[in-house]
């Protein structure tokens, strides 16, 4: 299937022409038929002489309903522009063309209707002149009459040629279906319609309904009025959603491939025409079928930052329109440059950002994005619409640019050296401290910064090479303590004696890490191997033995004996019996 939108001034015969081509009634609602104009979006389809199927999105032409026109034009790749021979180019013709130009629509066909009422050549030449100055360029033109049928066969051939030249859709793309209608069908429940521009929908698919992120299931699909099991792009589809109340869906919502899109409230954009300084400060952003109030902040001559009233699933390169609701005119077409822009907090940040945006091309480039950001999640890069560059360094779902690694590796090496100088008793910088110093979001990324200068041992980052020994003053204090323990191995020094020796908490911890002392409990330190010596002495006691007998065997106090017995019990070497005595296992 191929999808073509109609465009043109009110009452120039768009719906009549679609009806003549398809034999279907595009004006579906009673209000539309009563008033004789398309207020909402109408749909009809037909098979062309080439055998291809074309579906028409018949959009309203009345100025009051231009937002509905934008909802119809936005997601489709080609347009059938209609001008009446008896009236020629009109105000809404110009506004529709302005929208098409701003959206960068490049494929189309001109149909001059009511050719039975007046010679169509003047209207045809006038319309072609206007169209030539837009992205549509010089279009093929066919003069027709919906009333008499004249020119319809020629128009069908021209439509066949038009759709034959359309770019092939990406049927493997992530789903983003903008909802342009939502209603309830008795016995089926909530149904939404839209134009599927990329990807393939299947019955049973799980999708994400945004805004809100609600997970929904495709209960059924219709395309061209018939049930289908799958629908590849490009296609007009009706999607029956399981378990979703009608009030939970509205025009401008989107059905998405789960976890594949970034919802954003702030985007940086480039204008297709005009000056950013002339934009209204408050506008409506039209993208797909969505229309969202937007705050506009000019940055450069043709760049601006948009603050959206609600999050939208956007990607780099998306085309959209800014419309001034007060002036009832299109303010500008925009191309999305960045969906995760940096905050602008410092003086001069706007000018610096404008200079940076001047280098952006509106194309999702994974290498350029990673180079600019230095560090990002791989799934976020893909959700922006870019590919992960082959040369990117990846750890734990993170991507890191090589230049950032060099910079932060230098920062870490300097910080570790400073830490070692200020904390000679600590064996390296704790990993979490290293993560904070380097502003890395994940501790696993620290390994990328080690290089040949640093090493990671037991959760601490060291300067590479032999681990430095204990300071001389500390070694002297330990030697004095060990000499005293050699006389009475289990006579752990009291706190005052440790203080006299200059052995505070940090010094004792360093001595234990270096294997120079054995920590039995808080405040109880013995020489290495004292635990094994205790076991040998206790084995000489009758079994079971009392705590008092153990104390006497070890020639120490209860302060030391109790934690020794607890240590041996934790190791499974001894156990305490119900009567309070002990035995070795």
DSSP string, 479-497: HHHHHHHHHSTT-PPPHHH
| Complete domains list, the chain, with CATH | 2-164 (3.40.50.300), 176-256 (2.40.30.10), 263-363 (2.40.30.10), 402-463 (1.10.10), 472-584 (1.10.10)
Q: Of 9, 73, 3, 1, nearest to 41 (Cα)?
A: 73
Helix (H, G, I), strand (E, B) or coil at 149: coil
Would you tell me how many other CB atoms lie within 10 Å of the CB of residue 421?
A: 8
CA distances from 572 to 121, 480, 541 (A): 103, 33, 18
Asked if residue 268 lies in contact with residue 318, where contact means CB atoms within 8 angstroms, the answer is no
Residues paired with 47 in a beta bridge? 53
Q: What per-residue confidence (pLDDT) applies to 262?
A: 93
Predicted confidence (pLDDT) per residue in 265-306, tens digit: 999 999 988 889 999 999 999 988 888 999 999 999 999 999
Q: What contacts 178, CB < 8 A, 6 or more positions away? A: 71, 74, 75, 194, 195, 252, 253, 254, 288, 289, 290
Q: What per-residue confidence (pLDDT) applies to 130?
A: 95
Helix (H, G, I), strand (E, B) or coil at 90: coil
Query: Rounded distance, CA 154 to CA 142, Å?
Result: 7
- Strand 206-210 and strand 254-256: the pairing is antiparallel
Q: What per-residue confidence (pLDDT) applies to 53?
A: 86
Helix (H, G, I), strand (E, B) or coil at 291: strand
Q: What contacts 27, CB < 8 A, 6 or more positions away? A: 15, 33, 37, 38, 42, 58
Q: What per-residue confidence (pLDDT) applies to 182?
A: 87
Query: Rounded distance, CA 73 to CA 76, Å?
Result: 6
Q: What per-residue confidence (pLDDT) applies to 456?
A: 86
Predicted confidence (pLDDT) per residue in 187-214, tens digit: 888 888 888 888 999 999 999 999 988 9
Q: Of 193, 384, 171, 213, nearest to 288 (Cα)?
A: 193
Query: Rounded distance, CA 355 to CA 476, Å?
Result: 63
Q: Which residue has the tokens 């018949």?
A: 58
Tokens linked to 398:
């993170």
Asked if residue 585 lies in contact with residue 575, where contact means CB atoms within 8 angstroms, the answer is yes
Q: What per-residue confidence (pLDDT) applies to 569?
A: 93
Q: Which residues of 246-273 are buried (b: 16+ CB within 10 A; e: fewer)?
A: eeebebbbbbbbeebbbbbebbbbbbbe
Q: Of 369, 168, 392, 402, nearest to 262 (Cα)?
A: 369
User: Is residue 583 classed exposed, middle or buried when 0-12, 13-18 and 19+ CB atoms within 10 A define those classes?
Assistant: middle
- Residue ranges, the chain, pLDDT below 50: 27-41, 61-66, 69, 72
Residues paired with 241 in a beta bridge? 218
Predicted confidence (pLDDT) per residue in 213-241, tens digit: 899 999 999 888 788 999 998 888 889 99
Asked if residue 375 lies in contact with residue 404, where contact means CB atoms within 8 angstroms, the answer is yes
Q: What per-residue confidence (pLDDT) applies to 216?
A: 94
Q: What per-residue confidence (pLDDT) applies to 29?
A: 40
In degrees, rounded to 5, the angle at the alpha carbon of residue 207 between the alpha carbons of residues 202 and 208 is 160
Would you tell me how many other CB atoms lie within 10 Å of the CB of residue 424?
A: 13
Predicted confidence (pLDDT) per residue in 340-349, tens digit: 999 998 999 9
CA distances from 140 to 19, 124, 134 (A): 21, 10, 14
Asked if residue 426 lies in contact with residue 510, where contact means CB atoms within 8 angstroms, the answer is yes
Torsion of CA 339, 344, 349, 355, to 10 degrees: 10
């Amino acid at each position: 299937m191929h999808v073509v939108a109609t465009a043109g001034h009110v009452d120039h015969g768009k719906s009549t022409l679609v009806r003549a081509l398809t034999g279907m009634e595009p004006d579906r609602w009673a209000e539309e038929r009563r008033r004789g104009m398309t207020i909402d979006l109408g749909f009809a389809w037909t098979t062309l002489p080439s055998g291809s199927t074309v579906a028409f999105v018949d959009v309203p032409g009345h100025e009051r309903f231009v937002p509905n026109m934008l909802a119809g034009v936005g997601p489709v790749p080609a347009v059938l522009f209609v001008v009446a021979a008896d009236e020629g180019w009109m105000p809404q013709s110009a506004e529709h063309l302005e929208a098409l130009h701003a959206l960068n629509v490049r494929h189309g066909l001109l149909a001059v209707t009511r050719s039975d009422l007046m010679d169509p050549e003047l209207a045809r030449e006038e319309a072609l002149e206007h169209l030539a100055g837009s992205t549509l360029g010089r279009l093929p033109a066919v003069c027709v009459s919906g009333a008499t049928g004249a020119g319809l066969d020629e128009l069908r051939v021209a439509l066949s040629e038009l759709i034959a030249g359309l770019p092939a859709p990406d049927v493997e793309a992530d789903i983003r279906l903008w909802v342009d209608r939502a209603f309830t069908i008795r016995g089926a429940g909530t149904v939404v319609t839209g134009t599927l521009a990329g990807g393939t929908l299947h019955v049973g698919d799980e999708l994400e309904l945004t805004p809100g992120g609600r997970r929904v299931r495709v209960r059924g699909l219709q395309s061209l009025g018939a049930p289908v099991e799958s629908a590849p792009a490009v296609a007009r589809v009706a999607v029956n959603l399981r378990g979703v109340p009608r009030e939970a869906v509205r025009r401008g919502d989107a059905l998405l491939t789960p976890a594949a899109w970034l919802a954003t409230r702030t985007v940086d954009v480039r204008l297709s025409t005009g000056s950013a300084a002339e934009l209204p400060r408050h506008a409506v952003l039209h993208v797909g079928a969505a229309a969202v109030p937007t705050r506009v902040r000019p940055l450069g001559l043709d760049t601006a930052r948009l603050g959206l009233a609600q999050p939208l699933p956007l990607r780099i390169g998306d085309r959209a329109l800014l419309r001034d609701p007060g002036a009832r005119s299109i303010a500008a077409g925009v191309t999305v440059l960045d969906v995760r822009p940096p905050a602008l907090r410092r003086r001069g940040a706007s000018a610096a950002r404008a200079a940076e945006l001047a280098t952006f091309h509106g194309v999702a480039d994974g290498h350029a994005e990673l180079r600019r950001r230095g560090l990002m999640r791989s799934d976020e890069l893909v959700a922006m619409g870019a590919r992960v560059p082959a040369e990117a360094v990846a750890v734990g779902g993170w991507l890191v640019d090589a230049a950032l690694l060099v910079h932060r590796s230098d920062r870490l090496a300097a910080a570790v050296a400073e830490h070692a100088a200020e904390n000679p008793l600590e064996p390296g910088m704790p990993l979490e401290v290293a993560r904070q110093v380097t502003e890395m979001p994940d501790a696993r990324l620290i390994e990328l910064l080690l290089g040949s200068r640093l090493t990671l041992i037991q959760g601490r980052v060291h300067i590479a090479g032999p681990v430095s020994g204990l300071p001389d003053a500390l070694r002297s204090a330990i030697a004095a303590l060990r000499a005293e323990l050699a006389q009475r191995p289990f006579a752990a020094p009291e706190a005052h004696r440790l203080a006299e020796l200059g052995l505070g908490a940090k010094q004792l911890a360093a001595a234990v890490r270096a294997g120079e002392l054995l920590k039995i409990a808080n405040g109880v330190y013995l020489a290495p191997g004292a635990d094994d010596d205790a076991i040998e002495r206790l084995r000489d006691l009758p079994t079971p033995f009392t705590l008092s007998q153990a104390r006497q065997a070890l020639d120490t106090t209860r302060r030391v004996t109790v934690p020794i017995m607890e240590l041996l019990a934790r190791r499974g070497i001894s156990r305490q019996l119900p009567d309070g005595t002990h035995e070795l296992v």
